[in-house]
Amino acid sequence: MVSVWKRIFLSKIAPGLYSIAGPFIIAYCWNWYHLSGAQRQTELWWLTLLYAGPIFLLFFFFKGVFRFLTVKFKWHTFWADEFVIYLDELFFLGSLVFLVLFSQSEFLSLTYVLSLFFLIFFRLDNILGKHKADLSWQKVNRSVFLMAGFIFVIIGIFQFIAYTYYIFDSSAKYHNIVLFRSFSLTMVWLGGFSLFSLFYFYLKKKKQLFLFFWLVLFTAAIFLDLVNTGIVSNSGLYLGPAIFGHFSLTGLKIFAFPITMAFVIYFLLIFFSFLIFRQVIKAHDETTKRHWLFYNFALLTIASAAIFSISSLWNTPQVIIFKNFFDRQTEENLVLSEEILKKLEKFGLFYELSSFSVMRKTQPVEEKSGLKIKNPNIVLIYLESFSARLTGPYNEKYKEVTPNLNDFAQHQNTTIFKKVYNASTPTITGLISSLCSFLPPTGHQEIEREKMLKRQYLTCLPEILKHSGYRDTSFITAVAKEFANKNTILESMGVDKIYGQNELKKRINETPKSWGYSDQQLFPFIFELMQEKQEPFMLGYATVDTHPPFNLPQDLVAFGDGSGWVLKTFHTTDFAFGDFWKKFKNSRFAENTILILMADHAIFPAALEKKHFPDFGGQTTFYDELFFGVYLPENILPKENEVYGSGIDLAPTILHLLDLPAPESFEGYSLLGSRKKYPNLIGMHEFGLYLNQELVDKNRQESFAMPTDVDCEEISSSNLLTLCELKKYYDWKRGMLLSGRLW
């Protein structure tokens, strides 16, 4: 009786459960990956049911076709009576690969997928072994899996490198997309192999010709992948027409490794490809057409499913490279009129359009700063959303909000920079603009939500400092370092060590009290970390308590009547800084460290409600004057600096203090030197285009608009740059970015 029920379960119930669970797993995991956090809660389940149904029907249809063909062509009864039952189990095992989308670990993801690959192989091999009348099926199965595994590993390595270094990947939320891209490309190659394999049994002479032709195509693809790997790892771009301009700048250095090593790797890959190919040919010789017809049918079916149902195939580097050559941007998108170029020069923005690398302006030679300390430590604190108007040093009305910043500003060694505005918004583009002296034509949506911009190849302050004798460059963020791709973007700037929430948990024996760790939790850690660093060092830190919404910190410090969250968070950040500032003044760092406090960007205008800020509530934009102060040991600077500038001037100013030359690619100038020659300012981001220009009578004119609201065709006859012309500059610069002509 037990054996009867066991047989019923294995032959009827289990296959049914497998065939239901498989589509559900695929649909749930795929939708979970593609939906945002808010959408997951409202749409995940009904979308899962919507997608699972068609997947189940397609699999059911496939099983019906399989059973029909085995009967029609009078195959062994094993296929219709036994193997068809195991199809449900194999389908279920294949669906488990989608669970990898929940993994955040690259190592665990790869281990899981490879383990599942071997599990499917051994299970299929075991099932085919039940066909006692013909064990040649196992020989075919083993040769196909050997080839599939080899192709998957090779493609996977190239895909991972491309994913890691490509700057604008709009289809990858995190690394696991690499596995699906590798799988889909592997199936395309196996599908092609199965087509060529058909000719093997229908040609009497030179029957191996078509299979060798497939091998030639495969090795040619490996060569192109190898070339693309060298290009993307050095330029952040995939192979395309624009990339050839880089050869005029770097020659053969564009490869990530010496050319000789590249060829050694290539010929090793060809050698192993040939060895595996020989095993497959041997399997062809030792089996019959019937065996390979079955496997070719299966491979073509799976390959077709991969091509038409898995979107990962269509955003692989190979497809993008194809588009680069055949869907080229029109040249008009990369042209900027002479009139606009002339107006941009008033902002200090000069471009060499005749050169492939357009950012090659001649940097002015600044006067020596007079700083006596050689290579001082640099501590750069980015104050989240810290508009100057809400702080005591800039606005007497709010002196009680920021008593510790007031003390910092009043110190004899501190210089306060006034009239400095943010060049971009939010934090990540604020970091790019200030550390790389670059106006980024990028947006919040594509960086923080779509995670498109993953790295850049500009010359940035951390890398310059490392080449100038600095032993350590670090950055601390209170939230996960992966948010907005801070980890990869900062690494591409030359930052050695990035501390995010996961890294901080190992050092701070507390649970996070804000959006991540609060300012009161992190300022003590910053001072502790400074003691550990090899000098000279650069250490950056981005505060978090003043990030909207303003009710996040659990350790807010009371202020005033408590009716306004904004001022309470400003006061809390000031309170946290106060303890750090006292320790700093009484430590050895006061004698050998430059301490810089600068807002990453202005406070968002929605936070300044009219009822709490009657003087300016409802009147601000995403661009505003920033808090910006510099503590300099044995200060040689005036107490205040009132040169108009923006975030792009931070890095040149620091280099000026260190008597280091600014690179050609910098778009900003030192606030202690040449910036005074260019008093006009630009801000650019999807949150708004901003102009702050000096008029003939020395008054200022500010202009602001959302990029989507700017539409014009004609060049203005005005001597001032208009928002329409700024939009054209924004679009042109974006085209330059995507074609790699900005580095």
* Strand 645-646 relative to strand 681-685, pairing: unpaired
**CA separation for the pair 410, 398 (Å, rounded):** 15
What is the per-residue burial (b if ≥16 Cβ within 10 Å, else e) of 561-599? eeebbbbbbbbbbbbbbbebbebbeeeebeeebbbbbbb
pLDDT at residue 451, as a whole number: 54
**CA separation for the pair 437, 347 (Å, rounded):** 13
What is the per-residue burial (b if ≥16 Cβ within 10 Å, else e) of 86-112? bbbbbbbbebbbbbbbebeeeeebbeb
**CA separation for the pair 380, 526 (Å, rounded):** 11
Burial of 332 (0-12, 13-18, 19+ CB in 10 A): exposed
Positions of the chain with pLDDT lower than 70, given as ranges: 1-15, 36-41, 170, 173-174, 204-205, 207, 242-260, 327-333, 443-452, 561-563, 713-716
Token representation of residue 429: 């583009």
Q: Which residues contact 433 (CB under 8 A, 6 or more apart)?
A: 422, 423, 424, 439, 440, 646, 647, 648
Bond prior to 679 in cis (omega within 30° of 0): no
* Strand 414-417 relative to strand 640-641, pairing: parallel
**CA separation for the pair 210, 215 (Å, rounded):** 9
Q: What is the pLDDT of residues 97-119, one digit of tens each?
A: 999 988 888 888 889 999 999 99
Burial of 711 (0-12, 13-18, 19+ CB in 10 A): exposed
SS3 of residue 8 by DSSP: helix
pTM equals 0.77
* CATH architecture entry for 373-388+415-677: 3-Layer(aba) Sandwich (3.40)
Residue 241 carries which DSSP code? G
Residue 394 carries which DSSP code? T
pLDDT at residue 331, as a whole number: 47
Angle of CA points 551, 553, 556, to nearest 5°: 95
The H or E element that residue 161 is part of is helix 136-165
pLDDT at residue 2, as a whole number: 47
Is-contact 429 642, C-beta < 8 A? no
Q: Is the dihedral of CA 457, 460, 465, 468 positive or negative?
A: positive
Q: Which residues contact 290 (CB under 8 A, 6 or more apart)?
A: 75
**CA separation for the pair 383, 571 (Å, rounded):** 12
Spell out the SS3 assignment of 166-217. Answer: CCECCCCCCCCHHHHHHHHHHHHHHHHHHHHHHHHCCCCCCCCHHHHHHHHH
**CA separation for the pair 336, 738 (Å, rounded):** 16
CB atoms < 10 A from the CB of 291, how many? Answer: 19
Q: Which residues contact 518 (CB under 8 A, 6 or more apart)?
A: 478, 512, 544, 545, 553, 554, 555, 572, 576
Token representation of residue 192: 């092609």
pLDDT at residue 400, as a whole number: 94
Bond prior to 536 in cis (omega within 30° of 0): yes
SS3 of residue 329 by DSSP: coil
**CA separation for the pair 316, 429 (Å, rounded):** 27
The H or E element that residue 625 is part of is none
What are the two backbone dihedrals, phi and then psi, of residue 27, each rounded to the nearest 5 degrees?
-65, -40
Rg of the chain, C-alpha, whole Å: 31
Is-contact 109 179, C-beta < 8 A? yes
pLDDT at residue 168, as a whole number: 73
Is-contact 692 680, C-beta < 8 A? yes
Is-contact 439 423, C-beta < 8 A? yes
Taking alpha carbons only, the member of 197, 195, 162 closest to residue 177 is 162
Is-contact 381 478, C-beta < 8 A? no
Please name the amino acid found at residue 727.
K
* Strand 497-499 relative to strand 472-477, pairing: parallel
pLDDT at residue 77, as a whole number: 84
pLDDT at residue 3, as a whole number: 59
pLDDT at residue 1, as a whole number: 47
Q: Where are the domains of the chain?
A: 149-331, 373-388+415-677
